[in-house]
Amino acid sequence: MHIGAVADDFTGATDLATTLQARGLRAAVVIEDRPVDERALDGLDAVVVALKSRTAPVEEAVAASQRALDRVLGWGADRAYVKYCSTFDSTDAGNIGPVLDAARERLGVDRTVVVPSFPANGRTVEDGLLLVHGELLEDSPMRHHPLTPMTRSRVRDLLAPQTAQPVSEIPLAVVREGADALRAAIDGADPGYLVVDAVTDDDLRVIAAASEHLRLLSGGAALAAGIDATGGHGAAPMPPLPGGRLVVAGSASAATRGQVADAIAAGLPTRQVDVAAAIADPDAEADALAAWVRGRIPRVVPVVYSVAQLSDVRPDPDGVAAAAVERVLARLVAELVGTGEVDRVVVAGGETSGAVVQALGVGMLRIGPQLAPGVCWSAATTADGREVGLVLKSGNFGAPDLFTSAWEALR
């Protein structure tokens, strides 16, 4: 196995796995500590362990990441990849630094690159500053993220409070000199973390080539697109899925809000989660939503969402609303998949996807056709043996019409 990766949320895990698969590497996602039949790992070039650790308490995130790393190394991975968000979602007390520190120690290495850039999704790093579609991260919609509001843009300033290790920057000019010059800069820098500028996919290919000797990589998923692959393997075949279809969106991100608006405009049946009702009695709200969905499937694709506009986000310092919405959407999907009424689900949002996949009791995701950079279908078997197709969509990924167009890839 070439790559063993640990991703801090579930959409990030499928983002990395589909990116590796597009390079011709056979990749799959393993869910947290769930046992897997090791025969299913035979012939895989890469395994990504999906964690729900982005906003977990630091000790929990580090412990879960260590267990995941031990697992992939035990499965024979030559190299490790710590995957975080391309918008570096974290807080000053956050988990990226501690997880990287622990991974460096586990692998006995003194440095790694830090490369959140994902040009195909508009995230670039130049002069050490993270830009989202050309706008500073702190001026982008990420400023209003319900769990990890991003109010600074310099990657070094975001990482430094999370680690005692030095954080240095390698400018674009060095990357553009090519892999040999960049490798010399990486090896000559202080030990610790090296934030490397990258604006284009070519820059990422140079960084991947210059980092070939590093046993630990870190970044968003796009750095993986530069990994030298000799594979040529396509997407895993999806099982026949004749049942109902459903979209659940717990994400408040700009792209998801656009996709919700597009679904409304396209005439899909849509219904908003009642957050107050969800907090009061999440199971009753889930049951009410399930009854509404049942009245519509399998003819059409119902869309259950929680945020159409930013003013729908409830001030939530204790995470009560977030947990309630996650529970409602997870129970809704588990109920309808459990009865066999629904077998294809598009889930928008990383935390939301984590809650849904946990509720389904899925152990492994086989990576199917790609729908957009970082967005793909995956096939899974639930704890009670149902076959299901899932799209775990990062909040800010995918074209506006994703909720109407995603199904075509399964025809």
Ligand X SMILES: Nc1ncnc2c1ncn2[C@@H]1O[C@H](COP(=O)(O)OP(=O)(O)OP(=O)(O)O)[C@@H](O)[C@H]1O
Alpha-carbon dihedral 346, 350, 355, 360, rounded to 10 degrees: 40
Q: Considering beta carbons, is residue 11 or 168 the nearer one to ligand X?
A: 11
Residue 286 touches ligand X, criterion: CB under 6 A: no
Spell 372-394 as b/e; 16+ CB within 10 A means b: bbbbbbbbbbbeeebbbbbbbbb
Instruction: Say if CB 357 and CB 392 are below 8 A apart.
Output: yes
Residue 314 touches ligand X, criterion: CB under 6 A: yes
Instruction: Say if CB 18 and CB 374 are below 8 A apart.
Output: yes
Instruction: Give the SS3 label for residue 278.
Output: helix
Q: Considering beta carbons, is residue 116 or 243 the nearer one to ligand LCNOYBR7?
A: 116
Residue ranges in 136-155 that form contacts with ligand X under rule CB under 6 A = 145-147
Residue 350 touches ligand LCNOYBR7, criterion: CB under 6 A: yes
Rounded CA separation 212/49 (Å)? 21
Q: Which of 53, 90, 121, 306 binds ligand X (CB under 6 A)?
A: 306
Q: Which of 6, 9, 218, 336 binds ligand LCNOYBR7 (CB under 6 A)?
A: 9
Least spacing, CB of residue 1 vs ligand LCNOYBR7, in Å? 21
* Spatial CA neighbour of 61 closest among 28, 30, 21, 103: 103
Rounded CA separation 289/272 (Å)? 9
Rounded CA separation 220/226 (Å)? 12
Q: Which of 2, 5, 6, 11 binds ligand LCNOYBR7 (CB under 6 A)?
A: 11
The item of ligand LCNOYBR7, ligand X, none sharing an interface with residue 168, based on CB under 5 to 8 Å by kind, is none
Concatenating the DSSP letter of every residue in 181-194 gives HHHHHHHHSPSEEE
Q: Which stretch binds ligand X (CB under 6 A): 117-125, 238-246, 322-330, 336-344?
A: 322-330
Q: Considering beta carbons, is residue 119 or 350 the nearer one to ligand LCNOYBR7?
A: 350
Rounded CA separation 2/47 (Å)? 9
Q: Which stretch binds ligand LCNOYBR7 (CB under 6 A): 6-14, 223-231, 242-250, 273-281?
A: 6-14
The item of ligand X, ligand LCNOYBR7, none sharing an interface with residue 266, based on CB under 5 to 8 Å by kind, is none
* Spatial CA neighbour of 370 closest among 398, 403, 395, 400: 398
Q: Which stretch binds ligand X (CB under 6 A): 64-72, 216-224, 367-375, 393-401?
A: 393-401
Concatenating the DSSP letter of every residue in 108-139 gives T-SEEEEB--BGGGTEEEETTEEEETTEEGGG
Q: Which of 3, 4, 12, 352 binds ligand LCNOYBR7 (CB under 6 A)?
A: 12
Residue 402 touches ligand X, criterion: CB under 6 A: no
Q: Which stretch binds ligand X (CB under 6 A): 30-38, 161-169, 338-346, 390-398?
A: 390-398
Rounded CA separation 81/88 (Å)? 15
Residue 220 touches ligand LCNOYBR7, criterion: CB under 6 A: yes
**List of residues contacting ligand LCNOYBR7 (CB under 6 A):** 9, 11-12, 15, 85-87, 220-221, 350, 374, 394
